Amino acid sequence: DLALYNLAADGELPPAVAVVGFARREKKDDDFRAEMEEATRKFSRQSVRDEIWKSFSQGLFYHQSEFEDQDGYTRLAERLKKIDSERGTRGNRLFYFAAAPNQFEPIIKNLKAAGLNQAPEGGWARVIIEKPFGTDLPSARELNRVVHSAFAEDQTYRIDHFLGKETA
């Protein structure tokens, strides 16, 4: 969220952007926003301006689920539809995987089962996966197979965690 806040502060982030954190721990949206604010105030490249933070933080949400729980993804799809209608995000989806590679398969399968690998109403759905991408050539090929079972290559982005951090 640091990079996104900085884009907002620079006037480069559309106001309709929404970020939904997805993790196991139970947490309310306001708790997630407070955690993000603390991190942003601590690590942002520019000072946090309260009026910009207030507006930006209204687009931060939290969704609790286990990676293996299909119902959690169904609930996520419903929540994203609601966010679309409230914030005008037009169904565009970008799923950023900050998870261990052994979690990719259940996440991908559940995204697909919930229909989240396809964007509604002419939007787009994409996935960003951090490298390292497998531990060797066979495991990388297997991960590619898993990703391509739900997302086409032109929907898939692979970035190096450290090199891509600033860009993302």
| Residue pLDDT, tens place only, 14-36 | 988 999 999 999 999 999 999 99
Lowest mean pLDDT among 44-53, 56-65, 101-110, 129-138: 129-138
CA nearest 41: which of 92, 5, 82, 13? 5
* pLDDT band, residue 88 (cuts 50/70/90): confident
Amino acid letter for position 42: K
- pLDDT tens digits, residue range 102-115? 899 999 999 999 99
- Quick check: 168 pLDDT over 60? no
**Residue 9 backbone dihedrals phi, psi, to 5 degrees:** -65, -30
Of the CA atoms within 13 Å of residue 31, those in its CB half-sphere come to: 8
Task: List, in sequence order, every residue forming a beta bridge with 97; answer none if it has no partner.
Answer: 129
State residue 141's pLDDT score. 92
Calculate the average pLDDT of the chain: 91
- SS in 3 state form for 69-138? CHHHHHHHHHHHHHHHHHHCCCCCEEEEECCCHHHHHHHHHHHHHCCCCCCCCCCCEEEEEEECCCCCHH
Confidence of residue 165 (pLDDT cuts 50, 70, 90): low
Q: Could you check whether the bond before residue 14 is cis, i.e. omega within 30 degrees of 0?
A: no
**Is the pLDDT reported for residue 167 higher than 60?**
no
